[in-house]
Amino acid sequence: MPLSKTISFVIDFLQNLPSIMSFLQLIFFILFALFLGRIAVSGYRSYTPKHVKLLLKLPLGTMALFSGFFLSSILPGTGLGKISEIFQIEIVLYSIISSLVLLLGLHLLSKNLPNPHGIKKLIEKLSKTRKTKVITPSFIAGACIIALLSFISLSIFPGFPNIQERFYNEIGMTPEEISSLLSIAESQPGNSQFRTLILAASFINNILPIVLPGVQAIIYISFILFFGWLSTLTLPEYYPRGIRLATRLATGFFSLICGIAISAYITISDIEIVENILEIMQINVLIAGIIASSITAVAVFLITRNIVHRSGIKTFLKKMKKKLREAEDREAGIKRKPLLRRPSMLIGMMLVILIACFGVTGLSKIPSTGNKIDEMLASSGTSREELISQLELLEEHFALMEAMNETGKASECPPLLDVFLENSDTILSGKLERYEDSRIQNIISQATKSRVISMFKLTYKDKDVVLGVTENKDVCLVHKQALCECMKIPEV
């Protein structure tokens, strides 16, 4: 059970925790801003070109997000303490409220801006659409892009990654080994004050093998929907809903396969532990999938630009003509009053301006999850640096124990104290036989993490043993290429 590797993983994780959390926070805020923007834009009921709504999603979502930063700093929290700060619960709550306020404001604005002119232009454009040849240069170009992307991805596709296996490989232990270790820790009398923590760790360890595959499935389904949405942004909006849904799922799955294939070539961080953690969380697949779905969107545009769906156009035109009549009726009813004298217009403007002001103020309130974790540790009476220092001592201890048993010969090792007693006259007289062996020197150096300054050959009950002395004042006993025991030279 290589505990030193597990402890080393935890140390590296704690040392790089601020970088990991900052990157995850950035990814979360970008995706969350898109979600908030979608909520806000859905409030604008008047006709707006598809690309305009798309371009407004991120700015409006970012405005709602920064408004959430500001409101969470001045309004009451959930009362969950540091946990809610780490998971940004208040920010999520107030950001959603801000996006709903934007939704209401844009809805009120849209009631006063019916835009019949834009609907007329769209109807005229679609009415002139004529069926043309399907196999055109653009269709061939789009098909070639899909074929090339498919060939590259399938030739290097490594199979679906196993998050559970990767996680346990990274920490260097199996669930059974962790469970055994926690059982031993729980049975120790001196660990009664940590009983709650040990029980919580045992519960998490027991459910992780069940939860992780489910989490991976949810992540991949979310990726398929997100990649499919990106890939079908260029699909003509008059296509029937069933075709749009089928295309979205197909292109989403295709982009996921491509993303998994090329994710091995995506480097997120130069720091190994940061890279490994983000890969376990499938961030590299997310980035690679976005690249693949963006290329797929170009191919979808080239393939479908000359594929005219006649029944889809007829249904869409009927829907747009109905909207045109409603827009013209609304415009006729509101023309009598100037825009700025209409109560709904003024209220809508005030709501949008209010959230915009909150958003600008929130620029100085951007949270740092890494700092919040440090504050939570400090409130518990320790710090991240102290925790790392204690774990480093523990790592050295287990590394030494593992080195002693590395070759399976530790059972033949004589006790270090007995070796000293049998050779006491030789040691006291200073007539020690110097010894040189680079392999033994490396064994001692790796175990003690210190340079060996001298080694001596001794005899114990007709067995040849080696004593090594390090710069850190460690004396180590080696027998048959196996590290037996080390002890500190006592201070005089």
pLDDT at 218: 93
Q: What is the pLDDT of residues 156-187, one digit of tens each?
A: 999 998 888 888 888 777 888 777 776 766 66
The 8-class DSSP code of residue 408 comes to: S
The end-to-end CA distance of the chain, in Å, is 37
Q: What is the pLDDT of residues 304-339, one digit of tens each?
A: 888 887 888 888 888 888 888 888 777 776 666 666
pLDDT > 90? residue 285:
yes
pLDDT > 90? residue 98:
yes
Average pLDDT over residues 52-78: 88
How far apart CA 122 and CA 49 sit, in angstroms, is 9
pLDDT at 408: 46
Q: Give the residue with greater pLDDT, 447 vs 227.
A: 227
pLDDT category of residue 144 using cuts at 50, 70 and 90: very high
pLDDT at 39: 94
Residue 363 burial (C-beta neighbours within 10 Å; 0-12, 13-18, 19+): exposed
pLDDT > 90? residue 353:
yes
How far apart CA 355 and CA 42 sit, in angstroms, is 16
pLDDT at 313: 85
| CB atoms inside a 10 Å sphere around CB 456 | 17
Q: What is the mean pLDDT of the chain?
A: 83
pLDDT > 60? residue 194:
no
pLDDT at 93: 92
Average pLDDT over residues 260-277: 87
Q: What is the pLDDT of residues 74-92, one digit of tens each?
A: 887 766 666 666 677 888 9
Q: Would the CA dihedral through 303, 305, 310, 316 be positive or negative?
A: positive
Percent of the chain surpassing pLDDT 90:
30
How far apart CA 412 and CA 393 sit, in angstroms, is 27
Q: What is the pLDDT of residues 110-129, one digit of tens each?
A: 887 778 888 888 888 888 77
- Please name every residue paired with 487 in a beta bridge, in sequence order, or none if there are none: 475
pLDDT > 70? residue 195:
no
pLDDT at 153: 93
Percent of the chain surpassing pLDDT 70:
85
Q: What is the pLDDT of residues 17-40, one digit of tens each?
A: 888 888 888 888 999 999 999 999
pLDDT at 407: 47
Q: What is the pLDDT of residues 356-384, one digit of tens each?
A: 999 999 988 888 766 667 776 676 667 77
pLDDT > 80? residue 420:
yes
Phi, psi of 237 (to 5 degrees): -75, -10
pLDDT category of residue 1 using cuts at 50, 70 and 90: very low
